[in-house]
Amino acid sequence: MTEFIQGPLWTIATTIFLIGVVWRITTIMSCKVSGELSRTRGTAGVGSIKAIFGRFVPRKETISSGRFQMITGYMFHLGLFALLFFAAPHVEFLKQRYLGFGWTPMPRWAFVIAAELAFAGLILLWLRRIMHPVTRLLSTLDDQLASGLTFVAMFTGCLALFESYTQLRVLHLFTVELLLIYFPFSNLMHAFTFIISRGSTGTRAGRRGV
């Protein structure tokens, strides 16, 4: 089983992930969009860039009501980004399996801080999802599964730091493979599609001079 998880299953999971992501993005990009009927009053490109980058900071009209989501969202996403690309085991994994080169990983104390931020952000966002009446109503089984799989993958990753236990590293790899397989068919695709969504909205707003 260990050999299967470390070999064929990893290949299957990454293949499904890559094909699924490309398929979803291609499907979205190939959708026909109705033409603009109003007279062009602005620049589409500028509007697109503003929408993509400007929405990383909430509008001042909504910052008081959205402060919790903004803070916890940044805690989770930035913490997870740091863990994915700067944790020493991941840097070494990417170097050996794919890139052939690496970069300086973050020190252990930075790993601990990033992990704490990511876990705290994810848990707080999930608690709000199930406790707030509006987000609870809007949440689906997909949202719960995505949060659960992400949490399990992160948790087993921390356990895998006990490098003397090969089983823990294999368990972490297995949970990551499950997450990769599920990713293209879930709302986790927003990691890629948010750029397309924001860019499309900003393009229309830019043409209209908004």
Residuewise pLDDT in 10s, the chain (210 residues):
778 888 889 999 999 999 999 999 998 888 776 666 666 665 666 666 766 666 667 767 666 667 888 889 999 999 999 999 999 889 998 988 888 888 999 998 999 999 999 999 999 999 999 988 888 888 889 989 999 999 999 999 888 877 667 788 889 999 999 999 999 999 899 888 877 777 676 666 666 656
Measured CA to CA, the distance from residue 25 to residue 29 in angstroms comes to 6
Give helix 190-207 / helix 8-29 axis angle, nearest 10°: 10
Tell me if 78 is assigned to some domain. yes
Tell me if 36 is assigned to some domain. no
Under 8 Å between Cβ of 39 and 84 = no
**What letter represents residue 97's amino acid?**
R
Tell me if 34 is assigned to some domain. no
Non-local CB neighbours of 5 within 8 Å, separated by 6+ positions: 170, 173, 174, 177
3-state class (DSSP) for residue 46: helix
Residue closest to 28 by CA, chosen among 193, 184, 201, 198: 193
Number of domains present in the structure of the chain: 1
Domain at 81, CATH number: 1.20.950.20
Under 8 Å between Cβ of 79 and 118 = yes
Structural domain including 82 reads 2-13+66-192
pTM of the shown model: 0.83
Tell me if 172 is assigned to some domain. yes
